Chain A
Amino acid sequence: MVEIVLISALDGVLYGMLLFLMASGLTVIFSMMGVLNFAHASFYMLGAFFGFQISRYLGFWAGLVAAPLLVGGLGTVVERYGLRKVHRHGHVAELLFTFGLAFVIEDLVEMVWGKLPVDYRVPPSLDFPAFTIFSGNYPAFKVFELLTAIAIFAALLLVVKRTRVGLIVQAALSHPDMVGMLGHNVDRIFMLVFGVGAGLAAVAGVIAGPALVTQSNMAGLLGPILFVVVVVGGLGSLSGAFLASLLIGLVQTFAVASNASLAGAFGDLVPSGWLQAYVGDIWNVTVAQVAPILPYLLLVLILIFRPRGLMGTRES
């Protein structure tokens, strides 16, 4: 029991940190430009596939450096030649643009790499058990993932809170016009932030790719969860996104490890006519089976009881 709790906690924190790598970019882009980037998870997927492709020729470490740079560059191009053009048509057009982009990226990835998972492997230098808890081994690659995510988190915090660039970014979050008046090129700041956000998502892709499954549907699976993180944490709040990422990471990991169900808690249903089959579906389902819907359930609950999210300061 303790073993399960401990491993689940580690895995949950790891998953939460990966979520935060993506959610941080998403929430900063949202609060600066008012654009909810639907293609954010697609950048994560591109990071994984670029990392895979590069690792086949130059090894994993080259992929870890090059793939985020490539994707980050792609992000700036998307902002400069796509989003900025659509901007004058309003937020709905921007949102729909990224929505279409997500579809196109998924189709392109499917075309180039196929629908089946690709063989993206953990590099041999990290392919050993880091430590043993009770009877199970904890792989070194997961420790590496966790450390990388924490390092990036710390660096991001440092940049945003302690440097001049971070100061300008923070100011542009709430008062973009004023920052422009003070002589900063707001357009370029937006472009950079978009690129860095895409790059961070790609880092998450490169380090998550070998551990999870690198497949053309990975963006579609993760994208909606990212939105849940951003809304639950509070739109535009970095610390909220951090909390929500960890929360959802832990909730999902613990749920998957749990076998409890209503039937287990209260005993089997007494047969009672035609309704039994339908109620039985709910009665016998285990917590592990409902794990995929828990984030959305959390979203609905948060919206009912705390519409501005955990750490949010504004309603929309």
Chain B
Amino acid sequence: MSDIARPPLPGLPSGRAGGVLATYGVWIAAAVVLAVLPHVFASGLALTAMCLMGTMIIFALSYNMLLGQTGLLSFGQAVFFGLGGFLTVHAMNVAESGGVPLPLAVFPLFGGVAGLAFGVIFGAVSTRRAGTAFAMITLGVAELVSSSALILRHFFGGEEGVTTDRTGLVHLFGLTFGPQIQVYYLIAVWCFVSAAAMYALTCTPFGRICNAVRDNPERAGFIGYDTQTVRFISFSLSGLFAGIAGGLAAINFEIMNAAQLGLAQSGTVILMTYIGGVGDFVGPIIGAILVTYLQVALSDVTDVWQLYFGLLFIGMVIFVPDGIAGLLARQRPLLLARQLHRVAPFYALALVPGLAAITGLSMMIEMTNQLAVHVSDGPAMAFLYVPFDADAPLPWLVAATLLAAGTWLFLRAARAARHAYDEALAASRARGRGP
């Protein structure tokens, strides 16, 4: 639907220096893309999806400040997203009833400040430890906050949540923020600014020290940096950006409820970041776009779409631990040395059995789903427009064959592709050293 065609994403490491255009070219291109996008995909559904994507990009990037940059695995990032959202909603409601002359565009800042404040509070507790202990503490804190949210009914609004009205604030330049397109541009601007700020942060000495703490905390400690302080600052700043994302989500949906700060939301951001790739700045951006797109598209097609997400996630963890961005980054040297044509056929060769295996698996899932969930509808169903009975043996046989044969052939083809990749890489290195 919307974003498959989105051209180069911001933040690709620019590498060679040389002129403003070379350094900031990617960012200028990203800004142009963000501005033009709603005119290319003008449908209401596309616009809603893009608003969601913009919010999620900030959220996923903020998460990658922890996981990718500082090496901290947190299970409670949604706490800052949710608290930022709630603070924004309350700030908007207070401003509306009290007649405070603030335009809507600055309200995500309230979310950011809330995220930062809670980042400082929870960071003081959780960043004393690193590694697995840190992960468990964030989980505990997240559970603490999300269960408290159901007790503090006046602030969190209980099960229903708190609503607000984004059009009731001061209208600057005649912007009412009633139409979705205006909200899109608000999110786009905040998304661009936040992404730029987070990228700039990775280039500062602080960003480098975060990397050092991730890679070798002992040595970072020996050269005189307190690793706990570095983790703490990184954690707090990550809370700031997550809060901004939450504020934007609150403005976009005009409602905030306790589910937004629960474990499911934290799980979603982990999913996005990891599928996109944690090693690269663009990874979380790709992940946020892809996962949001799949959420919108898959939930129309099948009612067990969350299962597919789980399987996709496990598959990525096992086979592609550096994510989509890592996969693409590995093709970069081949592309530069014009050696990509040597591996492309092998990729295509692996794709065919891979797709067959996925088809077989998905057929089995859908047939189980038909038999277990849609019992009342009987066994008659259709998969890829082919009608059959889910309790007949033949479809199961077909699915099992597709899955088994597809997996076997895929693993063989993948081995061949890896071999071809190594050869092509060696060849491009040889060319690089040549005249």
Q: Which A residues form the contact surface with B (CB < 8 A)?
A: 30, 34, 36, 82, 85-86, 89, 91-93, 95-97, 99-101, 103-104, 107-108, 111-114, 220, 224, 227-228, 230-231, 235, 277-278, 280-282, 285, 289-290, 292-293, 296-297, 299-300, 303-304, 307, 315-316
Contact = CB atoms under 8 A, between A and B. Distances in A.
B125 A303 contact: yes
A296 B140 contact: yes
Contact of B137 (A89, A93, A95, A303): A303
Contacts, number: 131
Interface string B315-347: 001100100000000000000000000000000
Contacts of B31: none
B310 A103 contact: yes
Interface string B100-144: 000000000000000000000000011011111101110111011
Interface residues of B, number: 47
Contacts of B133: 231, 235, 315-316
Contact of B151 (A96, A101, A290): A290
Contact of B135 (A89, A95, A108, A111): A95
B404 to A, nearest CB: 15
A297 B144 contact: yes
Contacts of B368: 111-112
A228 B129 contact: no
Contacts of B143: 224, 293, 296
B160 to A, nearest CB: 15
A100 B313 CA distance: 6
A278 B152 contact: yes
B208 interface: no
B318 A227 contact: no
Nearest to A278: B154
Contacts of A114: 372-373
B346 to A, nearest CB: 22
Interface in B142-166: 143-144, 147-148, 151-155
B285 to A, nearest CB: 19
A309 B151 CA distance: 28
B306 A296 contact: no
Given A36-B135, A281-B152, A281-B155, A104 B314 contact: yes
Contacts of B153: 281
Contacts of A99: 75, 267, 270
Nearest to B303: A111
A99 B133 CA distance: 15
Nearest to B137: A303
Given A89-B321, A97-B314, A300 B125 contact: yes
Given A36-B136, A107-B304, A111-B372, A91 B313 contact: no
